[in-house]
Amino acid sequence: MALRLALVQMSVGINKMDNIAHACKLIREAANKGAQLVALPECFNSPYGTKYFKEYSEPIPGPTTMSLAQVAKDCKVYVVGGSIPESDDGHLYNTCSVFAPNGEIIAKYRKMHLFDIDVPGKIRFQESEVLKAGNRFATFNAGPCTIGIGICYDIRFAELAQIYAQKGCHLLLYPGAFNMTTGPLHWELLQRARALDNQLYVAAISPARDENASYIAWGHTTAVGPWGDVLVTTDHEETILYTDIETEKLKQVRENIPLNNQRRLNVYTRTKPVQSQNPTTSLKNNDMSGYQIDVNQHVD
Ligand SMILES: O=C(O)CCC(=O)C(=O)O
């Protein structure tokens, strides 16, 4: 049994209500073409940028998620609502809501790894200046599939994908908006890496490129199979991509290359790190300071 997926690479402008209406129109179009699950890009109701998040933010439920709930119900499809700037209790989050075909919100995911990078002369972006990171995983079931959600920068963290694989996910969906610096080399590579090392499906959904925006998205919405193969991809214009998720494929790949029976967990046991010598150097949002592998340990 397969799940028909639609990945909506939509154009996003500065008018929030227009963005919402446009997303709903494209969801209807995808549903009419037979999609059972329709996924939107990161930050689809707002331009992407720290200066926009507060102005475009809203609570959940709010105008954006209520519109998506209605269209999910009208079209009887699952909707993965990309992400929006969410306001809650004085904080802002980058949040994805998921809607069932009856319009109910069945999952909510707040971006866990905030996009803070500095590539001198190319790009500096600090989401943590305005956003708070989420701390919860989000999975849901759609037909034969269990699906895990991450948002954009989250795809760089192999651990998140691995945890979702352990939770039984067949497909990981990453609404994202890579840029003209990291997109060309990293966007597809990261999707293939996460798919291949966990032997599952991965798809990443970008907004279409707007050359006049302050943040220029790479586009190239893509879906990758459990063999690491690109199933469907595109350039940077607005479009909807379709692909089928076949859970049986995971079984086949995992039988052919049985990584899950071959892991040497007893050799690479994880240990907690010692307390940082200088607490001021510990990273924001990294409240556990991570776990690290004890490289001196060996098992005879
Ligand atoms: O990791 C990257 O290169 C881009 C990440 C990003 O754009 C985001 O998290 O929104």
pTM: 0.92
For a mutational test of ligand 1's pocket, the pick from 124, 153, 220, i.e. the residue with the most ligand atoms closer than 8 A to its C-beta, is: 153
CA distance 151 to 155: 7
Report which ligand 1 atom has the smallest distance to the Cα of 111.
9
Tokens 């979702």 found at? 164
Report which ligand 1 atom has the smallest distance to the Cα of 181.
3
Average pLDDT, integer, range 49-59 = 97
Average pLDDT, integer, range 157-186 = 98
The reply to whether ligand 1 has any atom less than 6 angstroms from the CB of 115 is yes
How large a percentage of the chain has pLDDT more than 90?
88
The pLDDT-based confidence of 26 (bands split at 50, 70, 90) is: very high
The pLDDT-based confidence of 171 (bands split at 50, 70, 90) is: very high
Average pLDDT, integer, range 81-94 = 98
Query: Is 152 one of the catalytic residues?
Result: yes
ipTM over 0.95: yes
Alpha helices for the chain (secondary structure H): 16-32, 50-56, 63-75, 158-166, 188-198, 247-256, 259-262
- 300 has a pLDDT exceeding 70: no
- 298 has a pLDDT exceeding 70: no
Q: Ligand 1: distance of its center to the CA of 49 in Å? A: 11
The reply to whether ligand 1 has any atom less than 6 angstroms from the CB of 178 is yes
Q: Ligand 1: distance of its center to the CA of 185 in Å? A: 13
Write the pLDDT tens digit of every residue in 246-288: 999 999 999 999 999 999 988 887 666 655 555 444 444 444 4
- 45 has a pLDDT exceeding 60: yes
- Quote the pLDDT of residue 214: 92
The reply to whether ligand 1 has any atom less than 6 angstroms from the CB of 177 is yes
- Quote the pLDDT of residue 268: 84
User: What residue's CA is closest to ligand 1, atom 5?
Assistant: 153
Q: What angle do CA 103, 106, 107 make, to 5 degrees?
A: 130
Closest listed residue to residue 176, CA positions, set 145, 218, 129 = 218
Pull the structure tokens for residue 37: 């699950």
Give, in order, the Cα–Cα distances in Å from 125 to each of 95, 144, 206, 296.
Answer: 18, 38, 17, 36
Report which ligand 1 atom has the smallest distance to the Cα of 152.
9
Q: How many CB atoms lie within 10 A of CB 176?
A: 31
Report which ligand 1 atom has the smallest distance to the Cα of 48.
10
CA distance 196 to 189: 10
- Quote the pLDDT of residue 291: 57
- Identity of residue 41: P
User: What residue's CA is closest to ligand 1, atom 1?
Assistant: 153
User: What residue's CA is closest to ligand 1, atom 3?
Assistant: 182
- Quote the pLDDT of residue 77: 98
